[in-house]
Amino acid sequence: MKVFISGASGLVGSNCLKHFTEMGWEAIGSYYSFQTDDTVFYDSLLPDHPENFNILEFAPDYIIHCGALTHVDYCETHEEESFEKTVQSTINLIKIANQLGAGMVYLSTDYVFDGKHGPYSETDPVCPISVYAHHKLQAEKLVLKDIPNALVLRVTNVYGNELRGKNFVARIIDQCQKHEKLTLKLPVDQYASPANAWDIARAMFLLLRDGKKGIYNIGGSEYINRVELAKIVLSNFPNAQYDLIPLTTEVLNQPAKRPLLGGFKTTKFHTEYPDFVFCTVDSYVKEVLSREVI
Task: Please tell me the pTM assigned to this model.
Answer: 0.97
What does the pLDDT read at residue 293? 55
Q: Return all residues near 257 (Cβ < 8 A) that are at least 6 apart.
A: 129, 130
Domain regions of the chain by residue span: 2-159+194-217
The domain defined by 2-159+194-217 folds into Rossmann fold (3.40.50)
**Cα 9 to Cα 162: distance, rounded to the nearest angstrom:** 8
**Mean pLDDT, residues 116-144:** 98
| 8 A C-beta contact, residue 122 and residue 112 | no
In whole angstroms, how far apart are CA 106 and each of 6, 204, 291?
10, 11, 32
What does the pLDDT read at residue 107? 98
| 8 A C-beta contact, residue 212 and residue 273 | no
**Cα 147 to Cα 62: distance, rounded to the nearest angstrom:** 11
What does the pLDDT read at residue 294? 45
**Mean pLDDT, residues 159-171:** 95
Q: At what angle do helices 168-177 and 281-290 cross, to 10 degrees?
A: 40
pLDDT digits (tens, 9 = 90+) for 7-39: 999 999 999 999 999 999 999 999 999 999 999
- The full length of the chain comes to 294
If you average pLDDT over every residue of the chain, what do you get?
A: 97
The closest alpha carbon to 95, from 143, 136, 128, belongs to 143
pLDDT digits (tens, 9 = 90+) for 138-156: 999 999 999 999 999 999 9
